[in-house]
Amino acid sequence: MHRIAVDAMGTDNAPGVEVAGVLGALAKSDLSVILVGDEEILRSHLTACEPAMRERVQIRHAPDVIRMDDAPSIAVRQKKLSSMRVCFDLVKSGEAHAVVSAGNSGAAMACGLFVLGRLDGVDRPAIITTFPTMRGPCALLDIGANVDTKPTVLAQFATMGAVYSRLQHKIARPRVGLLSNGSEEHKGTNLTRETHKLLERAGVGSDSAAFDYVGYVEGRDIFKGEADVVVTDGFTGNVILKSCEGLVEWIFDLARTEIAAAGFWSRVGAWLMKPAFRNMKRRADHAETGGAPLLGVDGVVMICHGGSQPRAIQNAILAAERFCQSNLGNESQSAIANHAFIWETPAVPAPGVLPS
């Protein structure tokens, strides 16, 4: 049985959202949860909980809270008794197997780096998310952990993203693309061009890598399913994520407005299409996955949206349990070791000396 440490003070409507999400997750699994936050408040939220389910919930008192406007360094240095920091300490000590938090994502990354530590060979962790496409799920990373990065780090993201795609999406040999503003090799920035050179070393179709590098992909290619994993820096990835969230909301709001203003037969047609609309919304809803894993740290960390509702927290907890079962960290570390040839600088022979 896995124990998940849940930051009960992270969402905009904490802790009611977190408690409801925890109870939903417990009803669908046999895991146990350590709920971290103000003990008195949490106990009051659990008074109506069934005794059998209550036995699977531990409460760990944390008197402090990391605010959304707090600097990430505060999470590690000054607020050691915050609900988020205590969750990471529980995983570090072995009392819990995973962290789920909807709090300050920068602080969560700082806790991941300085409390759990990086996997061997990983320069920077990355936050990864999944988009629905016409050909199946597509993993996108980084979506916010690293605004400024370098080519070697993006090459490591490609490797970790491929492992995630293989374990989570069951794709034996993922197709990895590098996000750019065109498919031509001269397009992009210095960062994308240098990363492209590194990833080409993985070898298209080569057995030496656990993925096939398909080159540059554009933003529109993501939803066409041209790649199973798309790699970019955290600034660009976060802009894409937020833009897509806003677009989905606009499309459904527009559909509701147009249907309400339409004639009788149009409303009848909309009613007949209601199951299709429901399936579309489910596929596009971020609450289906609940949260985004932080890859590259020595532990399972799920970062959720601050505006998450109970279903999102529930699904994030269930996803964290699946990642514990899949051994994501060890698989990622092994892949990083096996693929270091991609980003390691080849040895240059001395003048007049032939390479061996």
CB 290 within 8 A of CB 318: yes
| Torsion angles phi and psi, residue 276, rounded to 5 | -65, -40
Cis amide leading into 151 (omega within 30): no
| pLDDT given for residue 41 in this prediction | 92
| pLDDT given for residue 277 in this prediction | 64
**Residues recorded for the chain:** 356
Residues of the chain with pLDDT under 50: 205, 347-348, 355-356
| pLDDT given for residue 87 in this prediction | 95
CA–CA dist 173, 226 (Å, integer) = 14
pLDDT tens for each residue of 74-101:
778 888 999 999 999 999 999 999 999 9
| pLDDT given for residue 115 in this prediction | 93
| pLDDT given for residue 96 in this prediction | 94
CA–CA dist 179, 276 (Å, integer) = 31
Distances (CA, A) of 143 to 23, 305, 330, 355: 29, 12, 22, 41
| pLDDT given for residue 286 in this prediction | 63
| pLDDT given for residue 348 in this prediction | 46
What is this structure's pTM? 0.83
| pLDDT given for residue 356 in this prediction | 43
